[in-house]
A and B are shown apart, each in its own frame.
Chain A
């Protein structure tokens, strides 16, 4: 093993929470500057929030700290000493750890196995009895837990994120970077997890730098906040001194926020109908069963529920990725098999969650990814020969209209920031005539301005007569957008209520699986 890297000073770093500071950090990708002269100090034992629009450079900054990127200029100070971090192993050796926007666990392994193999010093031959005892002791001392014997693939998103944080604590991290850790959690779960993280800060065990788009979390849990805009540090302060409006103003500068679109139009004919649809869930052990579900034209039906209760499977059944065991799916009154031709003739669009994983080819270019829906269409007809010029022109228009921040449209879409991937996919799916829109967590990882813009677009589609089926783990989002609210729990629709009469407590009750 390599010794921990400390450039200056041979003494080991003091125990407990680390102090971490970036000094004049600058990062260029080719001619594009993602980060310019950013200096942020996270004092030991504090909880520091990092805010910024999509593409502002937040992930880039933390990747520079963790050694994934090598900053073009600037310095990193750890415990008041200059630290040279060549790669993430060095960062880890110093006690710095990161929890990502997306999961890094090995799905086929159990929780215990994931924890053990994550250690840099994991032995070649693992003494499981001993590790087991150690893990149990560790879990018992933690403020929150995940069952050690579960395969990670069976964990819901919320549980996975808890495990990611536990893993960092298990590795002995004393400075924790959280990149949008709560995107996949319900508000209650998020409060629970962040509450524990805050507790660890107050106990002086860790310092935290958290990227988030949620002001509520900043106010509730953070001590200090820094705001990035277009790669520059544009504001900093104590959370106690700042209102949400002030933070928002720092984030977006002079730009105007999208106003919510008013609802209009009448509910039309049934567009999507599910009757007795059953399918295996992802573990293959349980079943999801939707007795009856109808979405009308000009209506948004929101499905609330804690992640892992069958929403993903329902989405896959609707997209044709998962075979339904019996039952019937109709669109505009005719049986629907989710082929490309059917989706096109009925103007059905899908926005699956985690677009980079479910709706993009990461190594293909931004232009090509935007063309996925239209590359074989020529107006109303089909085309055999691709048209590179049309693809490029259409992508340019959509990138402009949806304000996707793209340094190089011919570069791989994986190089875009998380929020901008989401925007690119939305741009692709929300243009043209839309009759049925099936959406899952559309605002995952978007900044607040983008969130209100996307929600406005969804409402606008509804007003224009589209039927919208919205699955979201964000209950506020479901309540804000839906005309009708359903609750999904353990693979079933357990509750239905018109949005006007919806009560949060009642819905929460059903989300928790306490069907009356």
Chain B
């Protein structure tokens, strides 16, 4: 049986500490994860100092690396929301990758007949299609959970595999552009249907929409009655039911909303980065999004800095591969270790020595 340390409450100082806890614990967990990773590097005969030096250089060291980092942050922001929004209802959805892939595919497919249409009409239609498909995909995991009691974590993960298989099938079959020889893709988007770069930057518009989505999600959860209802249901579903809150609708709504965010990420990947839908859509953003959401404790505003940090790790991986002769998978090892640290840190709430209510 665990010792339940008294959670400090009472008095302004204690209240301040309590507010600090959700920041301090993930930061400590992140640092602990990095420390373990440093040990891992030592076993590989590599210098952790050099490693983190390159991370800094590759992620934030120059204007160019900043652009690279921010470009990668855009889809990560949206992918993290796909985890964070359902999480406020107590659901652990880890299949955002599937919604990204299908969202991107939908955008690419809808673009085909829209070739001559002005961007002001075409792009919103593509984005809408992507969000709709994403919403249905993750909403399905929510519906299975609500109507059939199927665990949403498993179902969303399986749905992600199905989504990737579906995408591969379609871009290699019915939707394949015969011109795409090495890498089966849908037909390239018409020039007018490409999303451009932010003025004066080498970062596409997805970043702005990602930031807006995070802020909106935060406002929705923290400041509106829908978000409050979701938090009640996430805190104790029995209490929510006694209050007559529409738990089923909340589950469907929040999973669909998360899926729409991921679908939007897929849209930007196609319309701003790849120019057509193909296997590159399954780049793992959905999985990194899980880590970001957990590090940010499913708080929309906290996702912003965390996503930039993780995007930075991603952005620097090329440099690290080249300079340190480390395999591509190194970054995944790092992510895995940090994720474990974050999950384990959950047990630390109310127990850290300086949060303890001792006299």
Contacts and interface: CB of A to CB of B under 8 A. Distances in A.
Given A73-B359, A358-B238, A361-B231, A415 B9 contact: yes
B118 to A, nearest CB: 34
Given A30-B13, A67-B3, A373-B243, A385 B223 contact: yes
Contacts of B224: 384-386
A407 interface: yes
Quick one: which of B226, B229, B357 has the most chain A CB within 10 A? B357
A363 interface: yes
A26 B359 contact: yes
B46 to A, nearest CB: 40
A256 interface: no
B241 interface: yes
Contacts of B228: 368, 371, 375-376, 386
Contacts, number: 136
A68 B232 CA distance: 28
B14 A350 contact: no
Nearest to A351: B242
B61 interface: no
Contacts of B223: 385-386
A382 B222 CA distance: 17
B225 interface: yes
Interface string A70-83: 10110000000000
B232 A361 contact: yes
A340 B236 contact: no
A140 to B, nearest CB: 28
Contact of B225 (A32, A89, A376, A407): A376
B229 A350 contact: no
B11 A340 contact: no
Interface string A315-335: 000011100000000000000
A372 interface: yes
Contacts of B357: 28-30
Given A32-B10, A364-B235, A372 B243 contact: yes
Contacts of A361: 231-232, 234-236, 239
Contacts of A407: 9-11
Interface centre among B7, B8, B226 (most CB of A within 10 A): B8
A26 to B, nearest CB: 7
Given A68-B3, A340-B245, A376 B235 contact: no
A338 B235 CA distance: 21
B4 interface: yes
Contacts of A357: 236, 238
A364 B228 CA distance: 10
B120 to A, nearest CB: 30
Interface in B200-258: 222-229, 231-232, 234-236, 238-239, 241-246
Interface in A369-424: 371-373, 375-376, 382-386, 407-408, 410-412, 415
A273 to B, nearest CB: 19
B18 interface: yes
A195 interface: no
B235 A89 contact: no
B28 interface: no
A383 B224 CA distance: 8
Contacts of B243: 340, 372-373
Nearest to A348: B244
Contact of A320 (B15, B231, B234, B244): B244
A342 B14 CA distance: 41
A358 B242 contact: yes
A70 B358 contact: yes
A29 B4 CA distance: 13
Given A361-B239, A372-B232, A383-B225, A32 B244 contact: no
B144 to A, nearest CB: 19
Contacts of B231: 361, 364, 368
A27 B358 CA distance: 8
B241 A319 contact: yes
Nearest to B14: A30
A199 interface: no
A395 B325 CA distance: 60
Interface string A452-490: 000000000000000000000000000000000000000
B329 interface: no
B117 interface: no
Nearest to B241: A321
A88 interface: yes
Contacts of B232: 361, 364, 372
B241 A88 contact: no
Contact of B4 (A68, A338, A363): A68
A339 B238 contact: no
A43 interface: no
Nearest to B4: A68
B242 A411 contact: no
Nearest to B235: A361
B225 A384 contact: yes
Interface in B1-44: 1-11, 13-15, 18
B225 A375 contact: yes
Chain B CB count within 10 A is highest, among A30, A321, A382, for A30
A72 to B, nearest CB: 3
Which 6 pairs of residues, A with B, have the shortest CB-CB distance?
A361-B235, A340-B244, A72-B359, A31-B11, A411-B9, A30-B14
Interface of A: 26-32, 63, 67-70, 72-73, 86-89, 319-321, 338-344, 350, 352, 357-364, 368, 371-373, 375-376, 382-386, 407-408, 410-412, 415
14 contacts: A30-B11, A89-B1, A319-B242, A320-B244, A339-B244, A352-B238, A375-B225, A384-B225, A386-B224, A386-B227, A410-B15, A411-B7, A411-B14, A411-B18
